[in-house]
Amino acid sequence: MTSIPTQSELSALALDTARRCGVDVDGLTGDVVTRSPINGQQVTTLGWRDAAYVDEAVGRAEEAFRAWRRVPAPARGALVKRFGELLAEHKDDLAVLVSIEAGKITSEARGEIQEMIDICDFAVGLSRQLYGRTMPSERAGHRLMETWHPLGVVGVVSAFNFPAAVWSWNTAVALVCGDPVVWKPSELTPLTSLACHAVLAQAIAEQGAPEALSQVLLGGPEVGQALVEHPGVALLSATGSTRMGRLVGPRVAERFGRSLLELGGNNAAVVSGSADLDLAVRGIVFSAAGTAGQRCTTMRRVIAHTSVVDELTDRLASAYGRLPIGNPMADGTLVGPMINQRAYDAMESAISAATGDGGKLVAGGGRALDDVAPDAFYARPAIVRMDAQTEVVARETFAPLLYVLPYDDFAGAIELNNAVPQGLSSSVFTSDQAEAELFLSPEGSDCGIVNVNIGTSGAEIGGAFGGEKETGGGRESGSDAWRAYMRRATNTVNFSGELPLAQGVDFTV
């Protein structure tokens, strides 16, 4: 029997841990109850901000921006460097809070905090590499160039499944680009958010930077909506469902703001007849069952060649049968709880729809540990064998639910991969170089992340993260994603003493 912490044990651990990170736990007052998915019981109560408070927060951020944009970028990088050092000091504490509030197993929770440390390292280097360009001018005695400048206040709306890392992707880069951040975190992970903010606040105080560079607003959807609609928010970075993105995108566009959207994913792996099945099974099981299927990059479809689909399905079902499900903070656990009953019910509904479409449930399904944790929702990761990609397969279900489909020719596999509204992550397992190159080519996967012989999840911060189609088109983290947080100016400098016009225009007065 898996031991599940009691309400008092988990609450005490969460509050003590938050206190060590610098959160004023004794000052938490209010009547909003927060719960842990580990046992489904109360962790603490706290108060929420209302929508009216957003205007005050953005006003403070705008004032901080006017000072921070004058600070040289390498000096801004020094703040982020210190933030990274403090994150390393509090890595274990922050990971505990992630586990308690999001239900992640310890190694994945620690991995999330390591992502925060890594993005700080990346951003520190970036602070000396915010490069513009010099272009040749067609006019003698002229210099043509572009420069990049701080953009303004960045609003961040984040989801429960990565309660710390996604905020840090935005914040570390925004800070070195010269922008303050106002953060509306998930209502489900408030202590993690407060702890992350407290760690950054310490770095800000030590560096003598404006206090309002970082603000966190605990509140309901109306607070997020106010942040989305506020004209003082230059860039709104939002992570969540496609449904949420359909609401956010137009509202930001209506006021001519910028949006960076990271939305749904319905990620697939193509497994060819030449694939190393040992490698494929390991990659698929982690991508599909890790984080209890609650990553945007979770693998939700396997498209396997008819020559290997039966064997692969059997091997996946066998591996699923051995997955340890339980308390995510206990040694040996690989699958923790789903976030709440609504998520579990959505999974069961999808399984029912898929089997109604002719699919066969070959592994998992149903609740686990309901006898020892009746208020929590531990799901058995499920595999459904399908003959065709039906409507339910093309729809993202945010759960540990994997569909296995067959294909006959590689072109058909690519077509199946692309035949969903989402376009976040994809992979191919193959030993055929031509297949790998085709999958990576313009005729291949239409996703923002396209991998070979690795699963769909587990992205590194050095590469830009994001997807196409209904995934939103945004890019965060590495590569040149920093450009979203800055404004570009094209400059022409005339040192000739004459005034020739471009394209040979003659306008002599």
List per-residue pLDDT tens for the chain, 509 residues long: 469 999 999 999 999 999 999 999 999 999 999 999 999 999 999 999 999 999 999 999 999 999 999 999 999 999 999 999 999 999 999 999 999 999 999 999 999 999 999 999 999 999 999 999 999 999 999 999 999 999 999 999 999 999 999 999 999 999 999 999 999 999 999 999 999 999 999 999 999 999 999 999 999 999 999 999 999 999 999 999 999 999 999 999 999 999 999 999 999 999 999 999 999 999 999 999 999 999 999 999 999 999 999 999 999 999 999 999 999 999 999 999 999 999 999 999 999 999 999 999 999 999 999 999 999 999 999 999 999 999 999 999 999 999 999 999 999 999 999 999 999 999 999 999 999 999 999 999 999 999 999 999 988 999 999 999 999 999 999 999 999 999 999 999 999 999 999 999 999 88
Q: Are residues 107 and 248 in the same domain?
A: yes
* Residue 73 sits in the same domain as residue 209: yes
Residues 192, 295, single domain; the answer is no
Q: Residue 335 has what DSSP assignment?
A: B
Q: What is the distance of C-alpha 335 from the center of its chain?
A: 19
| Element (DSSP H or E) covering residue 491 | strand 486-494
Nearest-angstrom CA–CA distance, 436 and 358: 31
d(C-alpha 237, C-alpha 263), whole Å: 11
Query: 0.85 exceeded by the pTM?
Result: yes
Residue 458 pLDDT: 86
The answer to whether residue 507 sits within a structural domain is no
The predicted structure's pLDDT at residue 508: 87
Same domain? 343 vs 284? yes
> 222 and 82 share a domain?
yes
Quick one: pLDDT at residue 459? 86
Q: Total structural domains in the chain?
A: 2
CA torsion, ordered 111, 114, 116, 121, to nearest 10 deg: -150
348 located within any domain: yes
β-bridge pairing 133-135 and 142-150: antiparallel
Pick the catalytic residue from 112, 262, 396, 470: 262
Position 67 in a domain = yes
Q: In this structure, is residue 2 part of a structural domain?
A: no
Q: Is residue 501 part of a domain?
A: no
Query: Catalytic: 262?
Result: yes
Tokens 């706290």, located at residue: 46
**Structural tokens at position 119:** 């993005």
pLDDT value at residue 159: 97
The reply to whether 283 and 300 lie within a common domain is yes
Q: What are the angstrom distances between the C-alpha of 125 and each of 78, 478, 505?
A: 10, 11, 44
What is the helix (H) or strand (E) element at residue 367, kind and residue range? strand 367-368
- Are both 174 and 282 inside the same structural domain? no
Decide if 493 is inside a domain.
no
The residue among 98, 203, 116 whose CA lies nearest residue 168 is 116
Cα angle 344, 349, 351 (rounded to 5 degrees) comes to 100
Q: What pLDDT, on a 0 to 100 scale, did the predictor assign at position 1?
A: 45
- Scan for tokens 């703001």, then name that residue: 257
Do 396 and 259 lie in a common domain? no
In a domain, 193, yes or no: yes
Q: Judge if 316 and 454 occupy the same domain.
A: yes
Beta strand extents in 197-266 (DSSP E only): 214-216, 233-239, 258-262
Task: Give, for 75, the enclosing helix (H) or strand (E).
Answer: helix 73-89
Residues 184 and 160 in one domain: yes
pLDDT reported for residue 172: 98
Examine the domain organization and report whether 361 and 441 are in the same domain: yes
Kindly state whether residue 125 falls inside one of the protein's structural domains: yes
Q: Are strands 468-469 and 233-239 parallel, antiparallel or unpaired?
A: unpaired
Give the residue numbers spanning the domain of 162.
7-263+472-488
Residue located via tokens 């599940």: 4
Name the DSSP letter for residue 473: S
